[in-house]
Structure 1
Amino acid sequence: MVQNFQSLFEEIGGTETIEKLVEAFYPRVYADPVLSPLFEGDIEDIKRKQRMFLTQFLGGPPLYSQEFGPPAMKQRHLPFEITPLRAQRWLACMKEAFQQTGLEQNPASVLFYDRLMQVAAIMVNSPE
């Protein structure tokens, strides 16, 4: 019996959904006084990296690794003070972006958000 397997990337709507999510997410991050100090540099470059990472993270093409090597997100974020509050605010901004884009209506979004909660917890590297 052959099963039709779809990656989470495909289940949420692929590149188009990732693009919408990233576009809805970053204005929130930059407007959040708790998070904005962490985000310096060209917002377009940051959004491009996030699109590449999320695509790979959800089982799509390994775009991030092809350009930057293994994601190793915890290590890449060590120079930044990521507190439990910042992780919570990051997730809140993502939840709002899910709502704005309609992604929360997709049944696969539950698994996607659960995976993001795991990532956020792993990223914490500083107390409050």
Structure 2
Amino acid sequence: MSETAPAPKPATPFEWVGGEGVVRALVDRFYDLMDLEPGYAALRAAHGASLESARDKLFWFLCGWLGGPQHYTERFGHPMLRARHLPFSIGILERDQWLACMHQAMQETELDPALITRLRESFFQTADWMRNKGV
């Protein structure tokens, strides 16, 4: 009786996600939900009329942040997330709506539940650090 070796774990979250196609699907679902779900209204209001630029920038950023191609850095340099988000009022409500929207998008994109747990923790730390108002 021969045992099969377990599949090796992906080297990066980018590989675990499934690459650029899945990152794009995740980002598209995130922004579609933001447009569709009333529970994300405050988050949507912060983005202006069109989401096209935001979709591309989040896709480029997440590819690199997850350990894949550095599309964002190649175009814009270091992300400087907090500095780039200072013009926007980000409090607990906006943070929580962003996190809930991303969690829903990750579930609907059918990411591995273990990866969702890992990413939720990282997203929370980043989103909480981005807050620039008390509530």
1:7 to 8, 12, 15: 12
How far apart in 2 are the matches of 1:108 and 1:96? 14
Once the two structures are superposed, residues 66-116 of structure 1 have per-residue CA deviations (whole angstroms, 9 ceiling, x without a partner) of 10110010110000000111100100001110111111x343232222111
How far apart in 1 are the matches of 2:116 and 2:131? 23
Gaps of 5+ in 1: none
Correspondence 1:45-124 to 2 at 5 A: 45-103=53-111, 105-124=112-131
Contact 1:53 1:63 (8 Å CA) reproduced: yes
Q: State the partner residue of 2:29.
A: 24
Q: CA 1:96–1:5 in structure 2 vs 1: closer, same or farther (change >3 Å)?
A: closer
Once the two structures are superposed, residues 20-48 of structure 1 have per-residue CA deviations (whole angstroms, 9 ceiling, x without a partner) of 10111002223422112210153222101
Q: CA 1:4–1:21 in structure 2 vs 1: closer, same or farther (change >3 Å)?
A: closer
How far apart in 2 are the matches of 1:76 and 1:40? 15
Gaps of 5+ in 2: 1-7
Q: Which has the higher contact order (CA 8 A, sep 6+)?
A: 1
TM-score (norm 2): 0.85
Q: CA 1:80–1:44 in structure 2 vs 1: closer, same or farther (change >3 Å)?
A: same
Contact 2:103 2:116 (8 Å CA) reproduced: no
Please report the RMSD computed on the Cα atoms of aligned residues, expressed in angstroms: 1.8
Alignment identity in percent?
33
TM-score (norm 1): 0.89
- Corresponding pairs, count: 125
Which stretch of the first structure deviates more once superposed, 67-76 or 106-115? 106-115
C-alpha deviation, 1:7, in angstroms = 1.1
